[in-house]
Structure formats: C-alpha cells, structure tokens
Amino acid sequence: MTTYYSTVSDVFCILIQLISCNNTNESNLTVQLEVGSFFEREWGTPTWFLIYTTGSMGATLLSACVHPNTISVGSSGAAVALLGAKCSEVLCKAREEIFSVQDKLGHGT
C-alpha cells in the first residue's frame, strides 16, 4: 500500500518538471505522457478518460470565454485536471483517515 505522501511527492515532481522545461511543446508532451499513464494505471481507463476529457473541454471553454478571439486547445488543462483530481483524492482520503482514527478513540461525533 502506497502512502499518500509519496503520491503527493510524485505529483509535485511532475509539476516541477513542467515548470523547469524550456520548450513548451516538449514539456507539455512529456507531462501528458507521464501524468496520463500514471493516473490511467492507478484509476483505470474509464475514470481517467472521463476526468481527462472533462478537463480538456472545461479548459477549452474557459479559454474561449476569457480570450474569444484566440484559438486554443485544452490538453494542458486536461493534465491539470488530472493533477487536481489526484490532489482532491489525497485530501479526501486524508480527511477520512483522520476521522476514522477519532472514531476508534471514541471522539467522533
């Protein structure tokens, strides 16, 4: 069983790689491959595909609303949606873990 801290550190390593790469297209492709394959193995294809496509469409729609005269593709938004989904999963599981410890001690409400 992996700890949540190692998963969070993996996510931060991917974000650092995205920020530190000089070529935008190369960094986007690298992050897409790493984030996509990592989360597809963890969550399964249907869940990964749902989060990825929803994030891509949401990023494209937001970009069209903010800059209506510019054509944009939301693949970077899809990668950020995957990272955001993982962060929310980690936070929810950490919260469940805290409350389950309190329930075991008899301090739960």
What are the residue boundaries of the structural domains of the chain, listed by start? 4-105
pLDDT reading at 109 higher than 70: no
Q: What is the DSSP letter of 70?
A: S
- Residue whose token pair is 């394959």: 37
Q: Band the pLDDT of 103: cuts 50, 70, 90.
A: low
- The residue assigned the tokens 């070529």 is 23
- What angle do helix axes 24-43 and 75-105 make, rounded to 10 degrees? 40
Burial of 31 (0-12, 13-18, 19+ CB in 10 A): buried
Measuring CA to CA, which residue among 84, 80, 85, 63 is closest to residue 72?
63
**How far is CA 74 from its chain centroid?**
14
Please indicate, yes or no, whether the overall pTM of this predicted structure exceeds 0.75: no
Question: Does the pLDDT of residue 10 top 70, yes or no?
Answer: no
Closest to 31 measured CA to CA, from 83, 77, 79: 79
Q: 15-74 pLDDT, tens per residue?
A: 655 555 555 556 677 778 888 888 889 899 999 999 999 998 988 888 888 888 887 766
Neighbours of 45 (CB within 10 A): 10
